[in-house]
Amino acid sequence: PRARLRLFRPSLKRASKLKHSSPQPSCRGPEALLLEPAIMAQPAAAPGPPGAPGPDARTGFDDRAFDTKMQAFLTNNQDQFYTDWEESFDSFDQMSLHENLLRGIYAYGFEKPSAIQSKGIVPFTKGLDVIQQAQSGTGKTATFCAGILNNLDYNLNECQALVLAPTRELAQQIEKVMRALGDFLQVKCHACVGGTSVREDARILGAGVQVVVGTPGRVFDMLRRRYLRADNIKMFTLDEADEMLSRGFKDQIYDIFQLLPPKLQVGVFSATLPPEALEITRKFMNKPVRILVKRDELTLEGIKQFYVNVDKEEWKLDTLCDLYETLAITQSVIFANTRRKVDWLTDKMRERDHTVSATHGDMDQNTRDVIMREFRSGSSRVLITTDLLARGIDVQQVSLVINYDLPTQPENYLHRIGRSGRFGRKGVAINFVTKDDERMLQDIQRFYNTVVEELPSNVADLI
C-alpha cells in the first residue's frame, strides 16, 4: 500500500498501542539516563500496583530504584552549593537595567519577559553565579546576553565576557543577539569559531572587543596564543551546557577555565541538565542560584506533536512528499540522523520538484552560512539537516518540524522541535515512526511526560 493511504487512514490499532501502552522499563544503563534534578527533587513514588515498572527482566536494571537513588544524590545540598532563586519581574522596566539596554531589548521585539527572563536576568546582573534550565524558544539566550550587557564597563576596550557554545552556528546566533540587544550601547562583540580565518580573529581581537562568543576549540587556541587576553574577563557563560559538558567538550572547558582569572562570574544555561552536568559545575561555580524547570514542563506549549506510522523505512519518502503536496507550509525543517541521509533525501526531494536546501557538518563554513542566510531570509523554505541545527538556531518563521528519523537520544527531541512555535507562536512537529522506532517514541513520551498523538486527517488546519 502507498504511504499516502497510510498517512490519512491511520491504523487505529497501532495508534492505540502506542498511545496507551505502559512505558516499558528502560534497558539503558544509569549513565545514559539523563534525569533532571527538578523532577528528582519530588518525593519518591510509592510502590506501584502489580505489573508496575520494576527491574528489567533482561538487564536487571530497576528504573524506580535508580530514580530514588538519584533523588537522594541531587537533593543532598548540605554544603549549600546552590540556593533556589524565586524572585521574578513582570516587566523589563522593573529590572533596573541600563537605559540603552532597555532600548535594545524593546527594539529587538521583546515586550514582556518570558518565564526564564523574568527570573533569570536579575541574578545575573547582580553578579551571582547562575544555573538556569529552560527549553528552546523561551528566550534563554537573551537572558544571559542582557545580563552580560548590563554588567560591561563600556569605557574598557578589553574582553570582559566569554560565552561558549557547542556549534559554530549557535555561537554566531548568540553574537547576533548580543549585537542586537547591545546596539544602543555600541557593544564590541566577536564570534571566534572554527572554519574561519585565524588571522582575521587575531586582527579583530587585537583591535579590542568587550564580548567574545565562540566554540571551545577556537577560543582555547586564541587564549593559548594570547590573541585573546583573559586578564579582564569577569563573566564566563556556557550555553547548551548539557552538550558542552559532555565527554567531547569537558576537557576543553577545563582547559579554558584554567586560563581565566580566579574571580569570575559563571553562568550555565541549558534546555536539559543531566546530573553529570550539575556535578561538574561544582568544580567552577561559587554557590550559584538555581533556576530549574520540571521535566514535564519541557515540551513546548504551542507545539502540537504528532507521529505517522510508516512501518518501513522505504515508505518515508512518499509520506513526506504527500505532506508537502497537501499542506501550505511557510517554512519547515526536516531532521535526519546522518549526513549521508540528508544528502540522499535532498536529492530525492529535488527529483520530485520540491525546492529544498540542506546543511550538515561535512559542508564548509561559508556554504553553511550562505544556506542559513537564505533560509532566514525566506528565499529557501525547506531545510534538511542533522542535529547540527538542533540547538538554538532561531528561525522565526518555522511552523513545521519533521523528524524524518527520530533522534537517537530523547533529550535531542526537545532541541529539534524547539525550532517551531518559538516564543509562543503556533507550531507543529511530525515524527515518522517505523516499527523499529516505537520504543524510542515511548522513551520520548516518558522522558517529557507527554503524549504524541497520531497525525489526524485534518492536519492542514493545524499549520
CB 222 within 8 A of CB 259: no
> Alpha carbon of 275 to those of 39, 92, 211, 278, 414: distances in Å?
11, 32, 30, 5, 18
In contact, 296 and 171? CB cutoff 8 Å: no
Give all domains of the chain, ordered by start, each with its CATH number.
83-293 (3.40.50.300), 297-462 (3.40.50.300)
Cα dihedral angle (447, 451, 454, 459), rounded to 10 degrees? -110
356, 382 contact by CB (below 8 A): yes
Quote the pLDDT of residue 37. Answer: 35
Predicted pLDDT of residue 135: 62
231-266 pLDDT tens trace: 999 999 999 888 777 657 888 888 999 999 999 999
Model pLDDT for residues 411-439, shown as the tens digit of each residue: 678 778 865 555 445 678 999 999 888 88
Whole-number Cα distances in Å, 23 to 17, 450, 451: 11, 12, 12
Provide the CA 353 distance to its chain's centre, in angstroms.
32
**Residue 200 CA: distances (Å) to CA of 48, 203, 212:** 62, 5, 14
Is residue 237 classed as helix, strand or coil in its secondary structure? strand
- Mean pLDDT for 287-316 is 76
Pairing of strands 189-192, 289-291: unpaired
As given in the structure block, the three cell numbers for residue 20 are: 496507551
- Mean pLDDT for the chain? 77
161 pLDDT band, cuts 50/70/90, is: very high
User: How far apart, in whole angstroms, are the C-alpha atoms of residue 404 and residue 267?
Assistant: 35
CA distance 83 to 135: 21
